[in-house]
Amino acid sequence: MRTSTLHARLLILFLGALALSTPAMAQDEDDAPLAYPDDDELEEDTPRKLPRRSSDPTADYDRMQDESEEELELLAGSDDPNKGFAGEAIVGAMLLESSRGRFADPTLSVGLRFTWEYGRILNNEPLRETLWADVRWMMAGESSGTELINGSSRNHYFSVAPAYEFVFGKEKAFGVFGQLGGGFAFQSTSLTIGTEVTAVKGIKPLLQYGMGLRGRPRISDTMALSFRVELMRFRRGYLDDTFVGGSIGTAF
Amino acid sequence: MPRTVIAAALVLLAACEPAPATPVKARALVLSGNGSYVTQEVTLNTLTDVIHMEGSVAKLVGGARIELDPADPELQGITTEEAFGNALIKASGRPVTASWITKDNVLWPADFHTWNLVTTYYNFEKAREYFNTVGNIPNADFGDPATVYYFADFILKDTNPDPIRDNALWFAPTQSFMVVPFDELQKAPLAINSGIMSHEYAHMVFNLKVYGKRRLPDPIVLWGNFGASPGANLIKALDEGLADYHGYGVTCKSATGCDPRFFRTSFDDRLSNDRDLAKPDRCVDAFMREQLRNAPLATFSGQGLEYKLGTIIASALYQAGESTGQREVLMRSIISAYSDETSGNPGLKQLITIALNNQQNFNLTSVSAVFINHVTDVPLKTALCNELIDHLQVPVTDLVGPGRPCPPTAQGGNTCPPLPDP
């Protein structure tokens, strides 16, 4: 048969090539072939040690289970395609400290926020999705006065705020969080008298603290919807502003 | 480490609150020479709490609600004036919180209301300074800082169930000022108008000196309850007219000088013209005299006649002071006439006591005599006599002659046509 003949020829050639092969020409130390350990030598010096066996028949099971969990922790996230970043648009009511002495001066507030789940780099599963931090910008303003004399003021809040979240849900996609951070507030105001405008700007330290509900339900393998409802307090210098609102965006 | 961080944070937060030493330098709204308001650095000599706008002259309180409702059950059974005043305060409010930006050790308001607040305090401070320096009233006499209810809800239930808008007032029952929100008035807010706030401060001084700081002054409560209340009508007109006159006096202490038409930056031309002190031909006419003598206080006030008569009185004082170049002397004399325990030279307060049982004795003649008797400068006294005789239609024989307060040279004027005897 043609096939058997071919196989036979190839076999002869292969064996011949082995027989005629010259000694290896590359003889640097790096390229030198590795020697197998001398089994006889090992056996002569030290007898082979067998794994110690416990008298408790359940001990090995416990040990294996612990080892398994540790491995899982170390491998956590290897199957999570998300990077732990999120971006959200914020909208809500800012209850500005009332200069006129009311409970508050409510006004619309908008902003942007970027979140990083820095707990992912700690290689600790309980902290993996519970520790994160925001970089946030928000803006709130108000206007008042008469036609002749009126003022307009804007407050810009810039903050960095780490948070701790108690996650729940099947995929740990929801949680309740508390947050504490700081930054600075940029204030600008203009007073218009007739056609004359007087502008004033200033910066104040900012303390941010509050709590809220956070959700990250997955909408694809690599992306999740990210949203929050929050009650956040901003201490702007000596003034206390309170934000009640929410945000929505994506996490990836 | 955490303790250090907390301590540092507390220090940081404490440092956030501006706490400049008195006197405080701040920007406020001040009338300029061209008749419009400008932002200007001012010195507040008495302000001690820049956040809550409190000092020895005034303390500003926001979010208050004061309601006067005759049917209010809380007012029933009340026996003291203080309890009455307190029962009107339905919400006592809270201190205002000024928002500042500090630049080169000067406080800049960071929103409209802080501009309004600081200018309000500044205006009250200037008014206090006027009554202290021009009026010779010792600072100790003013007592505790005056409460100013800023943007308060003030409701007079029997006239309107809704809060009053577009006004500033001294309210004796609560012994406090009120600056209520603006609505239809779209010119300079009343709190920014130095003349108007000084007008209100003058009401407080009138209450302090003439009414003895009473929340429910006798002349109003006792005299005003009669069918015809000439005494109550006149004292209401005096209160308004003298407030206008001293409001004008405070404008004279400003960099821009005297403004006899100081209402103009906040009100329309009609009201500003009606209250213009420099208008020389204001006269008590037959209708005014009849209403003054015979109308009940509610009717008199219901027509706004206390303002009209008050402006005539203030205008007469203005003419006397300006024509002689003795403006401040006259202003000081008028304030000294508010209360005078000197035997044989009663002030208005003492005249009220004398006339308490017969308000007919509190009239244009007796009041004019009190003023004239407190002027020592003869030319000024003569000018004052002439203006009062002329504009208030006081018979010459009531004020000139043996035992009368005016010098013989005073014979009245010819601006106002004499009214026939009633």
Predicted TM-score (pTM) above 0.95: no
Hey, is the C-beta of B36 within 8 angstroms of any chain A C-beta? yes
The Cα of B249 is separated from the nearest Cα of chain A by a number of Å equal to: 25
CA separation, residue B149 to residues A14, A112, A121, B180, B243 (Å): 108, 39, 56, 8, 20
Nearest CA-CA partner of A132 in A172, A178, A164: A164
Q: Which two tokens stand for residue B78?
A: 């009340």
For residue A54, tell me if it sits in a domain: no
For residue A22, tell me if it sits in a domain: no
The Cα of B218 is separated from the nearest Cα of chain A by a number of Å equal to: 34
| Residues contacting residue B382 through CB under 8 Å, at least 6 positions apart | B406, B407, B409, B410
Hey, is the C-beta of A205 within 8 angstroms of any chain B C-beta? yes
If you average pLDDT over residues B10-19, what whole number do you get?
A: 51
User: Complex ipTM, two decimals?
Assistant: 0.86
Q: What is the CATH number of the domain that holds A89?
A: 2.40.160.20
For residue A42, tell me if it sits in a domain: no
Decide which of A109 and B182 is more confident: A109
Decide which of B88 and A18 is more confident: B88
Indicate yes or no: CB of A101 within 8 angstroms of CB of B151. Answer: yes
Indicate yes or no: CB of B16 within 8 angstroms of CB of A237. Answer: yes
Q: Best residue in A105, A143, A149 to probe B by mutation, most B CBs within 10 Å?
A: A149
Nearest CA-CA partner of B331 in B217, B233, B198, B193: B198
- Residue A83 confidence (pLDDT): 80
- Residue A36 confidence (pLDDT): 54
- Residue A172 confidence (pLDDT): 83
For residue A48, tell me if it sits in a domain: no
If you average pLDDT over residues B40-69, what whole number do you get?
A: 96
Indicate yes or no: CB of B102 within 8 angstroms of CB of A148. Answer: no
Q: Which amino acid is at A150?
A: N
Indicate yes or no: CB of A101 within 8 angstroms of CB of B97. Answer: yes
Yes or no: say if B262 and B195 are a contact pair by the CB < 8 Å rule: yes
Q: Which residues of A touch B151 (CB under 8 A)?
A: 100-102
Helices B364-373 and B378-391 sit at what angle, rounded to 10 degrees?
Answer: 170
Nearest CA-CA partner of B394 in B367, B361, B355: B367
For residue A43, tell me if it sits in a domain: no
Cα gap B400→B408, rounded to integer Å: 6
The Cα of B123 is separated from the nearest Cα of chain A by a number of Å equal to: 17
Report which secondary-structure segment, H or E, holds A163: strand A149-168
Hey, is the C-beta of A207 within 8 angstroms of any chain B C-beta? yes
Reported as a single tens digit per residue, the pLDDT across B87-99 is: 999 999 999 999 9
Task: Specify the pairing of strand B153-156 against strand B65-68.
Answer: parallel
Hey, is the C-beta of A198 within 8 angstroms of any chain B C-beta? yes
Q: Which two tokens stand for residue B287?
A: 């209708």
Task: Specify the pairing of strand B89-91 against strand B168-171.
Answer: unpaired
Size of chain A, expressed as the number of residues it contains: 252
Indicate yes or no: CB of B97 within 8 angstroms of CB of A237. Answer: no
Q: Which amino acid is at B171?
A: F
Q: Which single residue is written with the structure tokens 């398994």?
A: A68
Indicate yes or no: CB of A237 within 8 angstroms of CB of B115. Answer: no
Under 8 Å CB pairs connecting chains A and B tally to 120
If you average pLDDT over residues B95-114, what whole number do you get?
A: 95
Residue B54 has pLDDT above 50, yes or no: yes
Hey, is the C-beta of B113 within 8 angstroms of any chain A C-beta? yes
- Residue A66 confidence (pLDDT): 59
Phi, psi (degrees; rounded to nearest 5) at A223: -140, 150
Residue B55, SS3 per DSSP: strand
Indicate yes or no: CB of A148 within 8 angstroms of CB of B186. Answer: yes
Indicate yes or no: CB of B97 within 8 angstroms of CB of A98. Answer: yes
CA separation, residue B390 to residues A230, B319, B422 (Å): 73, 11, 17
Reported as a single tens digit per residue, the pLDDT across B260-314 is: 999 999 999 999 999 999 999 999 999 999 999 999 999 999 999 999 999 999 9
List, as ranges, residues 119-158 from B with C-beta within 8 Å of A: 150-151
Cα gap B155→B174, rounded to integer Å: 13
Indicate yes or no: CB of B29 within 8 angstroms of CB of A193. Answer: yes
Cα gap A68→A62, rounded to integer Å: 10
Indicate yes or no: CB of B9 within 8 angstroms of CB of A207. Answer: yes
Instruction: Match domain B20-192 to its CATH number in 1.10.287, 3.10.170, 3.10.310, 1.10.150.
Output: 3.10.170
Indicate yes or no: CB of B63 within 8 angstroms of CB of A237. Answer: no
Residue of B nearest to A97 (CA): B97
pLDDT band at B178 (very low <50, low <70, confident <90, very high): very high
Reported as a single tens digit per residue, the pLDDT across B181-208 is: 998 888 999 999 999 999 999 999 999 9
Indicate yes or no: CB of A101 within 8 angstroms of CB of B192. Answer: no
Indicate yes or no: CB of A149 within 8 angstroms of CB of B94. Answer: no
Q: Best residue in B10, B99, B100, B114 to probe A by mutation, most A CBs within 10 Å?
A: B99
Residue A6 has pLDDT above 60, yes or no: no
Hey, is the C-beta of A149 within 8 angstroms of any chain B C-beta? yes
Residue B225 has pLDDT above 50, yes or no: yes
Q: Which domain holds residue A135?
A: 83-251
pLDDT band at A52 (very low <50, low <70, confident <90, very high): low
Give me the helices (H) in B210-304, please. Answer: 218-221, 230-251, 269-274, 286-294, 297-302
For residue B23, whether the previous peptide bond is cis, meaning omega lies within 30 degrees of 0, is: yes
For residue A132, tell me if it sits in a domain: yes
The Cα of B96 is separated from the nearest Cα of chain A by a number of Å equal to: 4
Delimit the domains of chain B by residue range. 20-192, 217-422
Residue of A nearest to B61 (CA): A101
Name the residue among B13, B103, B111 with its Cβ closest to that of A151.
Answer: B111
Q: Which residues of A touch B109 (CB under 8 A)?
A: 151, 189, 191, 200
Phi-psi region of A84 (alpha: psi -120 to 50; beta: other; left: phi over 0): left
Residue B230 has pLDDT above 70, yes or no: yes
Domain count, chain A: 1
Q: A57-94 burial by CB neighbour count: b if 16+ within 10 A, else e?
A: eeeeeeeeeeeeeeeeeeeebeeeebebebebebebeb
Nearest CA-CA partner of B313 in B288, B350, B347, B287: B288
